[in-house]
Structure 1
Amino acid sequence: MNKYLISIVGPTAIGKTALSIKLANYFNTEIISADSRQFFKEMQIGTAAPDQAELAAAKHHFIHHKSIQDNYNVGAFEKDALSCLEDLFKVHKVVIMVGGSGLYSNAVTKGLDDFPKVAPEIREQLINTLESEGLAPLQNQLKTLDPTSYNYMAIDNPHRVIRALEICIGTNKPYSSFLNKEKQGRTFKTITVGLTADREIIYDRINQRVDIMMAAGLLDEVKTLIAYKHLNALNTVGYKELFNYLDGSWTLDFAVSEIKKNTRRFAKRQLTWFRKDTDTLWFDYKTDLSEIVETCQAAIKE
Structure 2
Amino acid sequence: MTQVWVNGQAMASVSPFDRGLAYGDGLFATMRVGPEGIAFFDAHMQRLQQGAARLGLDWHLSPELAALLHRLGAAHPHQCIKLVITRGVGGRGYAPPTPCHPTEIVSLHPIPEHYADWQRQGIRLCTSGVRLGRQPLLAGIKHLNRLEQVLIRSAVLPDGIDDWLVKDSHRLLISSSMGNLFFVRENQVFTPALTACGVAGVMRAQVIMALADLGFNVIVADLNEDFLHYASHVFVTNSLFGIVDVLAIDRVNYPRAQFTASLRQTLALIL
User: What TM-score comes out, normalization by structure 1 length?
Assistant: 0.27
Structure number with the higher strand fraction is 2
Structure number with the higher helix fraction is 1
